[in-house]
Structure 1
């Protein structure tokens, strides 16, 4: 089976369940290593980014709703069973790592938009070489337009219609030349220093480049896009992890539990606490 066909099969299996595809092992249980623990505990990133540029392909492990239902029932029946804490810790670590990779891409993209002082100076000096002559040319053209306008008025008063029309055509040509020079000057100004890159910004949710000139429709398409929404969901999941951990830390100790000091396995349960806080999750 080719790689594309295998990916299609796995995607269908994720959507319909392996039983419907005739590939499931009847004896497969939720604690089997072949079952996706991200899927059992919440969301698998493989399922969030299909058909986007961050497409991870089909998840190599099983996504079966029956097993997820059995997992949730077992966790509800035995909430203190350490296997569920193990699964949850692995899930949180996987999600954090995935979002951390995105944050790294965001930082890299932001650095690309920043110019060093040397680059800014070089670009600004180059722009000055062209800007000042262009400004003088624009001023000269403006004076010519003003002089031509006065001449047209004088010719009109003298009844010299043909000459007046020719002068008007010349002024229109000057106006077009002035507009071209103004556009050139604006383009130089846009690329001088960091101003050119300042028209771009990086989406801090998914790392995509956005333009400050984008229309509302284009921005709405981005924020409603599958990749952006996928990362938004993962970031909200991380925030929930942190909130739940803080609640557990601030909860009064249970009867018979130590009243002071660290609770058993406290550090193990907060293996990402500092990272969550530093990143605002």
Structure 2
């Protein structure tokens, strides 16, 4: 939170220093003005794009929003194009991984839709609350109320943690059913009891946990390349167990033997949260574009 406070102060200092700048200047980031610069996403992950070369200003975003509300400006289409490319790249990664798993073992290609399994009314309500709190945080940001923004973001983290735990429980239940179905040979009637499947090799699981812990530590130290290497090593170890699933939101590998804590870490992880964010933002932009187009058609009649 101290680091967040310093960043907020830096943003406001930049606003003070750049009072002569206009939101439509070429060196101002239009994507940031539209609500989401991809360079602010995926920091310290394999998708880290590094710092944005253009200027980010909260005051200029406010100026842009005022102009947009009057119908004189909109950078939504530019942002939509960028987000679509990120999502298409992620979806292609998921399809390649599914095909690779299918080539190795047909059972491993079974894909549980993480988004569908974890899409309950309670989860949706939490997501709505998180979105509202993020809007409040942005308002505090515009007003220069650092402490209020930080307190609001702390609430956001609590809500995200609660949502991650609930999603983990839902997915774990689905995995338990999945494991039960995988343990039944096709020739055996469903009513016949069978012993539960053996868990992955204990030593392999221990090595996977060590790699994941190392990746988290390296990421926290800003050592992105080293952290990515450790993650890749963990994923390689995971692939020794064929009972894998893919998250259809971020493309990460999950095992049907993952426990609730491991699944909660996944749902609360930065990569998953950022892909959730851009997928939700894309839907929002598409709905807004459709609404605007429909209103223009009605207005012309």
Kindly provide the CA deviation profile for residues 44-67 of structure 1, in whole angstroms up to 9, marking residues without a partner as x: 121121122221111111111111
Counterpart of 1:107 in structure 2 is: 95
**8 Å CA contact retained: 2:244, 2:254:** yes
How far residue 20 of structure 1 moved from its aligned partner, in angstroms, is 2.3
CA RMSD of aligned residues (A): 3.4
Give the direction of change, closer, same or farther, for the CA distance of 1:15–1:207 in structure 2 (3 Å limit).
Answer: farther
Kindly provide the CA deviation profile for residues 15-44 of structure 1, in whole angstroms up to 9, marking residues without a partner as x: 544562699544221111211111101111
Instruction: Give the Cα separation in 2 of the matches to 1:208 and 1:70.
Output: 39
Give the direction of change, closer, same or farther, for the CA distance of 1:51–1:111 in structure 2 (3 Å limit).
Answer: same
Q: Note the residue ranges of structure 2 that are not aligned, 5 or more in a row.
A: 106-197, 202-238
Kindly provide the CA deviation profile for residues 109-132 of structure 1, in whole angstroms up to 9, marking residues without a partner as x: 222212169xxxxxxxxxxxxxxx
Instruction: Give the Cα separation in 1 of the matches to 2:34 and 2:56.
Output: 11
Instruction: Give the Cα separation in 2 of the matches to 1:107 and 1:33.
Output: 37
Does residue 205 of structure 1 match 2:198? no
How far residue 204 of structure 1 moved from its aligned partner, in angstroms, is 1.0
Does residue 60 of structure 1 match 2:53? yes
Does residue 237 of structure 1 match 2:281? yes
How far residue 222 of structure 1 moved from its aligned partner, in angstroms, is 0.4
**8 Å CA contact retained: 1:17, 1:65:** no
- TM-score between the two structures when normalised by the length of structure 2: 0.49
Give the direction of change, closer, same or farther, for the CA distance of 1:198–1:243 in structure 2 (3 Å limit).
Answer: farther
**8 Å CA contact retained: 1:206, 1:228:** yes
Q: Note the residue ranges of structure 1 that are not aligned, 5 or more in a row.
A: 1-10, 118-182, 187-194, 260-281
Instruction: Give the Cα separation in 2 of the matches to 1:22 and 1:237.
Output: 26
Counterpart of 2:85 in structure 1 is: 97
Counterpart of 1:27 in structure 2 is: 20
Give the direction of change, closer, same or farther, for the CA distance of 1:75–1:23 in structure 2 (3 Å limit).
Answer: closer
**8 Å CA contact retained: 1:46, 1:59:** yes
Counterpart of 2:154 in structure 1 is: none
Q: Which moved more, 1:106-115 or 1:60-69?
A: 106-115
**8 Å CA contact retained: 1:34, 1:61:** yes
Does residue 215 of structure 1 match 2:215? no
How far residue 252 of structure 1 moved from its aligned partner, in angstroms, is 8.2
Kindly provide the CA deviation profile for residues 81-139 of structure 1, in whole angstroms up to 9, marking residues without a partner as x: 2xx24x2211111111111111111112222212169xxxxxxxxxxxxxxxxxxxxxx
